[in-house]
Structure 1
Amino acid sequence: MGKIKSVKFKLNVFEYEKPFHITNSISTKTSNIEVRIELENGILGFGEASPSFRVNGEKVEALLALEPVINEMIKGYDTKNYRQIFDITDKLFAFPSIKAAVQYAVLDALSEEIDLPVYKILGGAKGKIETDKTVSIGTLEERVNDATKIFEEGFRIIKIKVGENLREDIETIERIYEKTSGAKYIVDANMGYTPKEAITFVNELYKKGIDINVFEQPVKMHDIEGLKFVRFHSPFPVGADESAKTKYDVMRLIKEEAVDYVNIKLMKSGISDALAIVEIVKAANLHLMIGCMGESSLGINQSVHFALGTGAFDFHDLDSALIIKEENFRGKYKTEIPYHIAI
């Protein structure tokens, strides 16, 4: 029987290869929670939570304290009825990263039991995806050098963090564009600009003949009017990340005509809301990308399977496992060439 016997949490701390700097935030490490679900037949399923206080208001200590609560919530439920478990764990709306980890661990255990990969349980739409790699904020020369190195490694989609210095950001993008001809670019301000600054940024790049594939989260997360203003005055597609956590957030963004792209992160929404967001955005004929927080390979594995299963995404920002120090990569995927992740 595929009934849940126990749920156990384990704290894992990973250091970044170099400090990871985004607007108003510098991280040297990530503290993640490994979730292990054991079934009555001995089968194990694994998931990972990578909490973010900045985005979700989560604290690792509070999440670890949920272990007995979640055991009580889902113990005895059959993984074959995973939607029942999703409905129960949807009550964890204040703890989305742990909700994601538990929901994925349920699917992972089911996958083992029925001998079918999770991405096929979720639809099996694709067999391969391509990820970007991120340039964090630093000096102008550091950012140009990092982008050049990423391009030389074989990545053809580069994500560039901006938002702390408008003039330097413009020059940085211009220099990176010169050094990485043929790449595609996602530019992420992480809420760092005012709406007017965001318009200045994109218009100056456009005048220089630079093309941006997605301009992500230019303004504060709750400034939906500002986001809409940027979208209607930007020559480039505008995406929401911090503004788009739940399916209800996404419904509002679409109603307000505030976005071209929605960035799904399982750590913001869990599997259940992410599945709903895919259908909502597709119904609105808009676009999707998938991102990550500070997941290790175990956590990135979740998003890879989700992306492959749904086949819903134009861009995949699943590089966190590539920028942390991790001795043993975990997860049922392999890297065939440096910039492809595939089953």
Structure 2
Amino acid sequence: MNIKTIETYPVAIPLHKPFKTALRTVTVAESIYVKITCDDGTTGWGEAPPTHVITGESLFSIQETIKHILSPALIGKSLLAREEVLHLLHTSIVGNTSAKAAVDIALHDCFAKRCGLPLYQLLGGSTSQLETDYTVSVNSPAEMAEDAAAYVENGFPVLKIKVGKDTIAADIARIEAIRERIGSEATIRLDANQGWTPKEAVSAIQQMEQRELGIELVEQPVPAHDIEGLKYVTDHTSIHIMADESVFSEEDARRVLVTRSADLLNIKLMKAGGIHKALQINKLAESFGVPCMVGSMIETKLGVTAAAHFAASQRNVTRVDFDAPLMLSEDLIDGGMQYNGRIITFTDEAGLGITNVRTEKEAIR
């Protein structure tokens, strides 16, 4: 079972509505799809979206890294030597975590197909069902309140609210408008996307606590590099603080965990470099008694299916943020994870469970 070819396919899908955060605005979901074919006919699929402001990668860099560095290192290698193949993948180039993740996902699709198991079962099989939140983009308080109400009415009682784009007063006004519109029952999580300084974050969170806005957690309130600032926020607030952009690698996670700088970690395959490294980060967090969320970038159902299989396999993953495919105007994937409102389930198909992929209006099996 040797790797015969590694192919790449660029795809682009418009979003129903622009997705706005403190870091960027996205109107079209762009990605590179990866297809690995083995000499016994086994195929595996992966995905890598460019997220310049987080991973530093572009469509061009992802495709070129896969074509000219990762593929030459892996073609001809046996998938039965899994540790060696994954070691080669992750040591062939520094960084480029999304490019690595796409290939890693396709490899894991092949591994699970070889075993005849859905990937989440091969990796640990903790659960067969997940429940996702839905993200409210940064806009005016009135627009965000209307969006939040629509998502709750459509069966998403857990909302992730983007903040941190301008002033604290504006952010508080946004949350107050949302809470007034949706009532007290729905769960609200905040994601500042590095938008506050440590003192601003503490002030904002304390004001929200005083106003009893019912915030479950706050994600990445300060710049990614500022672990000391992250710890300051964690130590000076009672709401749970979650590290996201601060944690790409196991080394990053260890730094946050040893210093007790966050209450939770958000693992994303595109930051970690794929499933292999994500498993290591989660196990490390579990050893510290710190639960994890698994999220995604603006990805299609291909990449999010892989993240969902990873999340469902691990007991220490207590929350997921997998709404990205629901934001897209088109679905290029048949099979994979299945949505029933906020509930995500899996088929009995081996691997990722993907049965068909459409790129350039052509079906690729």
1:331: Cα distance to partner? 4.4
Tell me what 2:74 maps to.
Answer: 74
- For 1:123 and 1:321, how far apart are their aligned partners in 2? 25
Helix, strand or coil: the match of 1:202?
A: helix
- Percent of pairs with identical residues: 33
Residue 251, structure 1, aligned to residue 254, structure 2:
yes
Could you tell which deviates more after superposition, 77-86 or 93-102? 77-86
Matches within 5 A, 1:187-336: 187-269=190-272, 270-335=274-339
Tell me what 2:88 maps to.
Answer: 88
- For 1:327 and 1:271, how far apart are their aligned partners in 2? 23
Q: Give, as a single letter, the amino acid of the residue that structure 1 aligns with 2:336.
A: K
- For 1:194 and 1:28, how far apart are their aligned partners in 2? 28
Residue 126, structure 1, aligned to residue 127, structure 2:
yes
Q: Deviations over 1:176-208 (max 9, x none)?
A: 223333222210000111111111111111112
Give the TM-score normalised by structure 1: 0.96
Tell me what 2:362 maps to.
Answer: none
Give the TM-score normalised by structure 2: 0.90
Q: Give, as a single letter, the amino acid of the residue that structure 2 aligns with 1:126.
A: T
Helix, strand or coil: the match of 1:306?
A: helix
| C-alpha contact (below 8 Å) 2:23/2:53 kept by paired residues | no
Q: Deviations over 1:306-339 (max 9, x none)?
A: 011123212101111111222433442212x200
Tell me what 1:39 maps to.
Answer: 38
- The count of aligned residue pairs is 341
- For 1:99 and 1:159, how far apart are their aligned partners in 2? 28
1:86: Cα distance to partner? 1.3
- For 1:244 and 1:307, how far apart are their aligned partners in 2? 17
Q: Deviations over 1:72-98 (max 9, x none)?
A: 111122223322211111124411111
| C-alpha contact (below 8 Å) 2:108/2:119 kept by paired residues | yes
Residue 169, structure 1, aligned to residue 168, structure 2:
no
Q: Give, as a single letter, the amino acid of the residue that structure 1 aligns with 2:247.
A: A
- For 1:137 and 1:43, how far apart are their aligned partners in 2? 43
| C-alpha contact (below 8 Å) 2:141/2:175 kept by paired residues | no
Helix, strand or coil: the match of 1:36?
A: strand
Helix, strand or coil: the match of 2:110?
A: helix
- For 1:87 and 1:331, how far apart are their aligned partners in 2? 30
> RMSD between aligned alpha carbons?
1.3
Tell me what 2:16 maps to.
Answer: 17
Q: Deviations over 1:39-74 (max 9, x none)?
A: 101121101111211111112111211214222111
| C-alpha contact (below 8 Å) 2:196/2:221 kept by paired residues | yes
- For 1:43 and 1:29, how far apart are their aligned partners in 2? 31
| C-alpha contact (below 8 Å) 1:298/1:330 kept by paired residues | no
Helix, strand or coil: the match of 1:80?
A: coil
Helix, strand or coil: the match of 1:125?
A: coil
| C-alpha contact (below 8 Å) 1:216/1:238 kept by paired residues | yes
1:149: Cα distance to partner? 0.5
Structure 2, gaps ≥5 residues long = 347-365
Change (3 A) 1:87 1:331: farther
Tell me what 1:54 maps to.
Answer: 53
Tell me what 2:100 maps to.
Answer: 99
